[in-house]
Amino acid sequence: MKTSKEATDIPDPSGLPEVSTHPRRPVNMVAGTIGHFVEWYDWYVYGLLAAVFSQQIFPSHSAFASLVAALLTYAIGFAVRPLSGIIISPLADRYGRRAVMTLSISGMALGSLIVGLTPSFATIGFAAPALFLFARILQGVSAGSEGQSAIAFMVEHAPANRRGLFGSLSNAASGLATLAATGAAAMVTSAFAPAELAAWGWRIPFIAGGVLGIIGLILRMRADESPEFEAVALVDQKSAPARLWDLLREHPKALLQTAALSAPAVAYYTWATFLPTYAKLTTGRDLASSLTGSVIGLALLVIIVPICGALSDRLGRRKIFPIIGAIGMIVLFYPLLLLLNQPGFGVYVLVTASGWVVLAIWQAVYPTIQAELFPAAVRVSGIGFAHQIVIAVFGGTAPLIAAAFVGAGHPMFVAIYMIAIVALCLIAYFTLPETGSRAGRATVAPADPEVLQGGHLLQSAPAATDTAKPSR
């Protein structure tokens, strides 16, 4: 048997073809996270700058009506995500994570460039909002296939006792993207006069996102496929529709649990894309100042997420992190929004930072838990099916619903809405299996015959036992 720096061949006693496992090259980790970064950078910078470009692209009788039109277009991007998640995710289970991730980042980059380069309504008329709509649909389709593929890719490349850390990196990347998007929005709103910002300054962050997407595309074309997927592909040749049917028939509980793990995204999207606008609409705070404050709060999230992810490999996942994170959201959101009525930049920083701390505790572990709930043969399909439907229903509509509450004169309903959804999720968290401790103390080699069951290679934590063979 030959061993090289590029690969290590693992003999398979079942007689199946040998499986080549790739070394954990840095390009794989960067390729897995950069798509998440580009996806959420594009997503958040749209929401943060919607109040700036809305009258340029969606002119109306009032600034508020233009903002609602821009946010409706924003929500349409979410509406197409479930369709993409349902149709494309099984393709990642059939043909590979890397192929789908390469296509998804291409769509994100193109959509961002379209938004950044589209002329105003005054120049090309209704073609302007039509191009924005096309770009948002393209980004929605891309995002609908990105997240779950990247999560599976990262977790499957991780050592068994580091899955929590590796899985958390996807959300650390999304937090960093939110930070970068907020920073970019703060920079352009501070650097340009209002007329220049409305005319062309708001375009710079979108063009930058397109360039980052092109860089990510190059990195993903150089990345290795997940060795766990390659092992599954040898023994499971089912079509994508057959995999989807297997998922619905065999894993309904895991799908519901995955949905509950994703639903607090309603709070994440509200905090990320609407909190500065909320502060401006309800208290008259300066938008540029609020964006700067949000950058400070987001820096905490980027630091806390990988720390909690690493701790989950030692302490377990369910029994600490999603439960504590959910309780923190339920307890804090209402008083935090009330506190915004007090003047001062420091008050805003305290509010946004406190929210990001509890959101980070939830963010750190849910991707890894979701990946460990499903076997590799349907892992991307399972996460994508549940996660994308929930994100479309709760995430994409969060800024729009928050704006509607504020417009109707009931701003505190924003907090009540978030708390109600998170409270329902908390109930579901007590039904989760503890996957972290099992993943940390045992795993299986990619082709051991003991775990070949029904054509599925089960290397996820739920399939592992204390007697499983150690990783080789």
pLDDT in tens, 59-106: 877 777 888 888 888 878 878 888 888 888 888 888 888 888 998 999
Note the pLDDT of residue 205.
Answer: 93
Residue predicted with more confidence, 134 or 51: 134
The residue-averaged pLDDT of 21-31 equals 69
Give SS3 for 91. helix
Sequence letter at residue 270: T
What residues form DSSP beta bridges with 20? 9
Q: Measured between alpha carbons, how far is 208 from 347 in angstroms, rounded to an integer?
A: 31
- Tell me which of 171-175, 301-305, 392-396 is least confident: 392-396
* Site of tokens 């079942």: 14
pLDDT, tens digit, 9 for 90 and up, residues 163-175: 888 888 888 888 8
Does residue 116 or residue 25 have the better pLDDT? 116
Separation between Cα atoms, residue 33 and residue 35, nearest integer Å: 6
Distances (CA, A) of 261 to 145, 271, 352: 18, 17, 22
Instruction: Count other C-beta atoms under 10 Å from residue 162's C-beta.
Output: 18
**pLDDT the model gives residue 361:** 92
- In the chain, what percentage of residues exceed pLDDT 90? 22
Percent of the chain whose predicted confidence (pLDDT) is above 70: 86
**What number is the average pLDDT over the span 148-173?**
85
- Give the separation between CA 70 and CA 65, rounded to whole angstroms: 9
